[in-house]
Amino acid sequence: MHPSPSPIVNRTIRCDNHSMSSREFIRRAREYARRTEQAFRFDPTHGKGSHGRVYVGSRFTTVQQGELKKGMLAAMLRQLNIDRREF
């Protein structure tokens, strides 16, 4: 019997293969910034309508409320210069 994957591997698999809610994305971005000792800020008033902006260090991305599909999630991580395996 194979051991179950570690929480980090399990989290990476979820990130690569599924959509994620905007709340989960913001939570993980905050945790990532804390782990990498970077500044984090979420500004819900900086976007139009149901959008806000997440800042990690000197980089930012715009986040829409609701589910973030796989392609959008990948683009947002690129804008923040975050490797999916570390997220």
Decide if 45 is inside a domain: yes
Prediction pTM value: 0.76
Angle, CA of 80, 81 and 82, to the nearest 5°: 90
Decide if 1 is inside a domain: no
pLDDT tens track for 3-59: 555 555 545 444 455 689 999 999 999 999 999 999 999 999 877 778 999 999 999
pLDDT tens track for 63-78: 999 999 999 999 999 9
Decide if 61 is inside a domain: yes
Decide if 32 is inside a domain: yes
- Its domain, for residue 50, covers 7-86
| Overall domain count for the chain | 1
Query: What pLDDT score was predicted for residue 4?
Result: 54
Decide if 22 is inside a domain: yes
Query: What pLDDT score was predicted for residue 43?
Result: 95
Decide if 20 is inside a domain: yes
DSSP letter at 83 equals: -
The distance of Cα 4 from the centroid of its chain, to the nearest Å, equals 24
Decide if 2 is inside a domain: no
Decide if 26 is inside a domain: yes
